[in-house]
Structure 1
């Protein structure tokens, strides 16, 4: 079998997108050229690598094997390029970074500062829910991930780099808005809007109730922070969210942060990677960048006296 490196690049893009047009756009190729590479690869392999069912494309079993090999070879080639650049005092290459949806509120600021320091680095950012981010990390599709809790039992390690306070949000006209030192028992009488199972915010919220022997009265289950904020503003229930997601809503008075005993829940943001993975030069530099400057690039938050709104430090 004599496959070229370019053919493996084309196949990896098609396998990742399962869409010829999007793969062609990413590779700056025409769609017929991408299709031609795929036909040549199937002729060399002697097996179909992609099959079409209706309008959707799927990898065959052979295609899945080729995808794994292609990804491994591309990663090794990129790592070689980065290490050679490092030998001449440069940081150059690609960083594959996945972040949970809550982290999208600050991740672009971090990446902007990192890119200004290392303009030769090409960052590929993927934003998704926690479950998908973990799947991508386990499959080695991204080198690093940013999330609010390090998963247990999947061979990863995490480095904390920034506080992530979780607060209780309510509509501004809620009876508890402005109240001081609200007891958890009173708080538990309310209906809550929840993220999907497995969400780090939801897990922290469930743990808060379980630690106090309280039941969580769940209402709607919503799949994004934005939808939850809209539900809170509409009076559908209370929720627990990262303070980093609420800058605009607090500034415009659309939501109130409640003073509940035990809150804010003090958590951290973590940069996570596979424990056994040898990180690239770019990933090593990104981790060092987060450790040195990550927290300082996001405006810190301090909390006022009991009964007052959390105040941003100026």
Structure 2
């Protein structure tokens, strides 16, 4: 029986990721017929189709999903091997690929600045996305580590808590509720809120908070970044719920006020996360140790 090649695996991964032969060809700088031929070669070896076309859309068959799972495991191990062999030369020549959720970006950049001061020659690639996208990158082994909120138990990820993340309600300083010594939950629920997009950890925490009290979050506008929410709250477009750690400048300049709302802060936590089956490179190990050793912020026991 002919053996599948690493090149075939990588090409099929691209097709499965895009669900498109043409977009996979663009990513790989190949012609579309060349990509189709490689996938067809896998199908001939295995004796079953890996994709099916319904209308104009491409879908993976059950066999295709099995091949994708095996391919990701194989290519991930080979990538880890190559990466680790290079980094065995020492941390001076290492590379760190890190993903962070946008809510923790300000905290993460401070951590990276301190880490870079200790290891100035390490190449660092930082990706900032929402929670759902960061989870996808972790599961797909596209990053060494991530810094984010708590992760689901079923994804095969190792998450270690290192820092508290209190969420607070913010308003313009001249908002009628800003001078109240206590704001009841029912009063808060009547106010319009600016929220992050679906998939954001902060939005999920907000929705769960109100739902647990039998109340519905009144959303006035959806925004794709915390910075946009901060500016919109300052402009009086609604209230917001954000991490207290990201508001230092606005609070110092009195551009925003934290409401004394019942039930707040919502106490969440930051975690350093990686695939449980991933063999961390020397640089990734050094960064994780750096964060958990208290260099990333105030550590809290799990």
TM superposition score normalised by structure 1: 0.68
Where does residue 280 of structure 1 map in the other structure? 280
Is the CA contact (8 Å cut-off) linking 1:94 and 1:124 kept in structure 2? no
The alignment status of 1:268 with 2:269, answered yes or no, reads yes
Q: Distance in 2 between matches of 1:295 and 1:57?
A: 46
Superposition map of 1:49-198 within 5 A: 49-50=50-51, 57-90=58-91, 97-108=98-109, 110-111=111-112, 117=119, 119=121, 121=123, 123=125, 125=127, 127-128=129-130, 130-138=131-139, 140=141, 142-152=143-153, 156-177=157-178, 179=179, 181-185=181-185, 187-188=187-188, 190-193=190-193, 194-195=195-196
Is the CA contact (8 Å cut-off) linking 2:139 and 2:275 kept in structure 1? yes
Is the CA contact (8 Å cut-off) linking 1:82 and 1:91 kept in structure 2? no
Coordinate RMSD, CA, aligned: 4.1
| 1:37-76 deviations in Å (ceiling 9; x for gaps) | 4423423432554556666554444433332222212111
Where does residue 309 of structure 1 map in the other structure? none
For structure 1, the residue ranges without an aligned partner over 5 or more in a row are: 297-314
The alignment status of 1:219 with 2:219, answered yes or no, reads yes
State the secondary structure of the residue aligned to 2:296: helix
Is the CA contact (8 Å cut-off) linking 2:160 and 2:272 kept in structure 1? yes
Q: Distance in 1 between matches of 2:128 and 2:25?
A: 19
2:296 to 270, 294, 297: 294
For structure 2, the residue ranges without an aligned partner over 5 or more in a row are: none
Q: Distance in 2 between matches of 1:185 and 1:65?
A: 49
| 1:236-293 deviations in Å (ceiling 9; x for gaps) | 4322111344467557765433244664444331112344x24322432331232243
Q: 1:25 to 1:37 in 2, by over 3 A?
A: closer
The alignment status of 1:11 with 2:9, answered yes or no, reads no
Q: Distance in 2 between matches of 1:247 and 1:25?
A: 44
Is the CA contact (8 Å cut-off) linking 1:188 and 1:216 kept in structure 2? no
Q: 1:79 to 1:140 in 2, by over 3 A?
A: closer
Is the CA contact (8 Å cut-off) linking 1:21 and 1:31 kept in structure 2? no
Q: Distance in 1 between matches of 2:58 and 2:111?
A: 35
**Matched positions, count:** 289
Q: 1:238 to 1:147 in 2, by over 3 A?
A: same
Q: Distance in 1 between matches of 2:106 and 2:22?
A: 30
| 1:161-185 deviations in Å (ceiling 9; x for gaps) | 33423221113431123x2632435
State the secondary structure of the residue aligned to 1:165: strand
Where does residue 39 of structure 1 map in the other structure? 37
Is the CA contact (8 Å cut-off) linking 2:185 and 2:261 kept in structure 1? no
Is the CA contact (8 Å cut-off) linking 2:100 and 2:147 kept in structure 1? yes
